[in-house]
Chain A
Amino acid sequence: MTAITPLSTGPHGKRPARIFTPARIMIYSVLLVAALYYILPLYVMIITSLKGMPEIRLGNIFSPPVEITFQPWSTAWSSACTGLYCEGLKVGFWNSVQILIPSVIISILIASVNGYALANWRFKGSEIFFSILLFGAFIPYQVMLYPLVIITRELGIFGTLPGIIMIHTIFGMPILTLLFRNYFASLPTELFKAARVDGAGFWQIFFQIMLPLSLPIFVVAIIMQVTGIWNDFLFGVIFAGSKNVPMTVQLNNIVNSTQGVKEYNVNMAATILTGAVPLLVYFFSGKYFVRGIAAGAVKG
C-alpha cells in the first residue's frame, strides 16, 4: 500500500488547531476505529491465504500465521480445480483483460460523446432521452437479462466477445453519461461559444477543446469502468461465452467446488488475486479519483 500524497486543494475544515487538543484526539480515535473496520477483512484475507490448512482449523482467523506458506497462492493461480479443469485463475485473468480493455474504451468513448452532446448541443428530446437513460440506471440487471439474451442472439453475438462488450457499454452508459454531461456543463461556456464563433463544428470542438480539458473526468470514468467491468459476474457468466469466462466466474467456481474440506487459504488467495487489478488501480490513483469526482459528480 502506498501512502497517497494529499490533494492539491487542501482541506477546508476548521483552521489548523494545536496538535493535542481533546477534539483532535477524538477525531483521530474515531478515524482509527473506522479504519480498523475497513482494514480488518483485508487483513483476514491476507493472513488466511498465508496459512496452511491445519493451522486454519486450529487457530483463529485473526491470529497471524505461524508458518508462512505461499502454496495457496500458486494453487489459486495455476492449479485449483473446477471439475476436471485444474488451471486455477490464470486463464480467467487473461479473459478478463480481453473483455476489459475494449469494453472500457468503447463504453467511455460513447458515453463521453453522449455527455458532450447533452451538455453543449441539446436537441429536441435530448433531455427526455437523458432522463430515461438515467432511469435505466435503476433498472435491476436481472429484469433486462432475458430480452438481452434474445437481442444478442438475433444480432448473432451472444456468447462472444463483441456481445459482452456491447452489454457492458449499455449498462455503463447511464452513470457515465451523467458524469460526462455534468463535467462538460461545468466547463466555462465562453470556451464553447468562442469556438463556435470561430466556425468549429461538433467534432472539432469535441476533440480540440473539450477532450484536452477533461482528463480528470476520464480518469474517474476509467476507474469506475475498470472496477465495474472487472468485478462483473452476472453478465460475464451469461453473455461472455465459455471461451471468455472472466476471472470472477472462475473465482466463484473455485470457491464453490470443494473437494472434501473447504480450502479457505486457497479461496482467500484466489479472492485477493481476483481483486488485485481494481485494488491496484485504487491504490495508485485514488487521489485522482476524488479530484475527478469533485469535477464531475459534485457540480451539477
Chain B
Amino acid sequence: MRYNTALAILATSTFLLTVNNTKAADLEVTHWWTAGGEAAAAKVLADSFDKLGGDKWVDGAIAGSGSTATPIIISRILGGNPMGATQLNTGRDAEDLVKAGLMADLTEIAEKEGWADIIRPSKLFDACKYEGKIYCVPVNIHTEQWMWLSPAAFKAADLPAPTNWQEFVATAPKLKEKGLIPLATGDAWQVFLTFNVMISSIGGKDLYLKVYRDKDAAAAASPEMKAVFEAFAQARELADSGYVGRSWNEATNLVISGKAGGQIMGDWAQGEFSVAGKVAGKDYDCLLGLGNHPVLHTGGDAFYFPKNQNPEITKAQLKLASLLISKETQVAFNLAKGSLPVRGDVDLATANTCMKKGIEALNKLDNVAPGAGQLLAPDSGLEIEDLSKEFFADKNMTVEDAQARFVSIIERAQ
C-alpha cells in the first residue's frame, strides 16, 4: 500500500520533470564565472550562442571559484548526468575523465577548422590533446603574473609608485602608517597563486621549469628557491588580517578604491577594473612579473564537452565549440574577461595598455612558460597549495621548514 503511494509520488514528480525536458537543444553550460567582469564575459558567449538560433545556452554558473565548482562538475560527469559543456582550467583536471572516455572527441571539427594552426601558443592546445585526439577548446589565455597597483594609495602616502617587488616591500611601512593595506589578498588559492607567481617572477623562468616541469628536488632546495620563500614571507607580513574569507574581487576592490597598495592577481582582475570604469595607466597600474622577471605562465580556461546520448545536444556541442574559437567571439569575450585571445590573428586594437604589455610579452617565446596546472597533477599542485597557505597563515613557520616540506613534495610529485 505504501509502495503504491510512493510510486504515485515518484511518478508524478518524474512526469513534471519530463515535461520540462522536452526541448532537447537546451545546452547547459557550467562555469564558475560569477564576478562582475567574468559574468559579463560569460554573457558575451551566451548571447552569441543564442543568436545562432535554435539552441539555447542554459547558464549553470556555480559560485565560489574552481574549488567549489570542480567537484560538482566532476561528480556530475561521473554520475552520468553530464552538462552540455563545462568550463575547466586548462590543465590536468579533466585528464582522467578523458582517459575514461567520458569526454566528447572534437578531433573532426578541430581538423576541419584548422585549430592547430590558429591557436597560439601551441602549448595551450597541447593541453587539450590526449593520444592524438582533441578533447577541449581553449578559450583564452590567462596570465597570472601581475601586480595591480593603486596610484591613489601611493599618492596618499606620499610615495612614488614602486616598479618592482623590492620597491613595493619598501613602501609598506608608510602605507601601513596611513592605515592602508600594503598587499590585498584573499585566502586559499589566491595565496597559492601568489606563491606560483613568485617562483617565476623572483626566481626566474629556469627555476620555475626545473621545479614544476622537471620536478627537480635539487632546484627546489636551491638558494634561488630560498629567495622565493623569503619574498613569500615578506608578502605574508604585508597582508592584513582580514584576508581570510576574502574573495579575489573584493581584494581587487580594495585596490580600486585606493584602500590597498597592490594585489598580485591574474589578468582577470582587469575585468573588475573595467566594470568599475577605471583606465589602465591612469587609475591603476600593472607590473608584469612583479616588475622583476616578466615571465608569463600560459594557463587559461577551456571548455570540455561531456559525451552525450542525445544527438541534438551533440550537435549543439559542436556548434558551441566552433563558436568559442571564432574571431568575433574571441575578441568580444576576451575584452570583457581581461584575458588574451587564443588566436594570434585577431585584432585587439581596443586593448588597453596592460593587455598590450601582455600581448607583447607573449610574442617573445622566451617569456612564456606553461601554467602550473599543466605541469602538475591536481594532487601535487594542491599539496603545494596546502603548504603555501599554511606558511602564509602561520608567521612562526620558518622559511627553512617550508622549503624542506616543499622539497619533499616535489620529490614525489607527478
The interface of chain A, by Cβ under 8 A from chain B, is 81-85, 98, 101-102, 105-106, 109-110, 113, 145, 149-150, 152-153, 158-162, 165, 203, 237-239, 241-243, 252-262
Contacts and interface: CB of A to CB of B under 8 A. Distances in A.
Interface of B: 1-2, 5-6, 9-10, 13-14, 16-17, 20-21, 28, 30-31, 33-36, 38-39, 42-43, 46, 59-64, 68, 72, 75-76, 78-81, 83, 247, 249-250, 253, 272, 275-276
A84 B42 contact: yes
Contacts of B62: 82, 253
Given A242-B83, A260-B276, A105 B5 contact: yes
A212 B43 CA distance: 57
B63 A252 contact: yes
A256 B17 contact: no
B250 A261 contact: yes
Contacts, number: 127
Contacts of B28: 242
Contacts of B72: 237-238
A90 B13 CA distance: 19
A102 B13 contact: yes
A256 B63 contact: yes
Interface hub of B6, B21, B59 (most chain A Cβ within 10 A): B6
A253 B13 contact: no
A98 B13 contact: yes
Nearest to B3: A109
Contact of A260 (B31, B42, B80, B253): B253
B2 A257 contact: no
A262 B250 contact: yes
Contacts of A257: 34-35, 39, 61, 63-64
Contacts of A84: 39, 42-43, 46, 59, 61
Which 9 residue pairs spanning A and B have beta carbons closest together? A83-B61, A159-B81, A257-B34, A256-B63, A158-B79, A257-B63, A256-B64, A253-B63, A84-B59
A236 B72 CA distance: 11
A106 B3 CA distance: 9
Nearest to B75: A238
Contacts of A243: 17, 20-21
Contacts of A238: 72, 75-76, 79
Contacts of A158: 79-81
B17 A260 contact: no
B257 to A, nearest CB: 9
Among A84, A113, A149, the one with the most B-chain Cβ atoms within 10 Å of its Cβ is A84
B61 A82 contact: yes
B31 A83 contact: yes
Contacts of B249: 258-260
13 contacts: A85-B60, A101-B9, A153-B81, A161-B16, A242-B28, A243-B21, A255-B63, A256-B63, A256-B247, A258-B35, A259-B249, A259-B275, A260-B249
Contacts of A162: 10, 13-14
A259 to B, nearest CB: 4
Contact of B1 (A110, A160, A203): A203
Contacts of A203: 1
Nearest to A84: B59
Nearest to B9: A102
Contacts of B64: 252-253, 256-257
B13 A260 contact: no
Contacts of A105: 5-6, 9
A243 B39 CA distance: 21
Q: Point out which of B1, B59, B64, B81 has the most chain A C-beta atoms below 10 A from its C-beta.
A: B81
B273 to A, nearest CB: 11
Contacts of B276: 260
Contacts of B81: 153, 158-160, 241
Nearest to A245: B60
Nearest to B39: A83
A202 B35 CA distance: 59
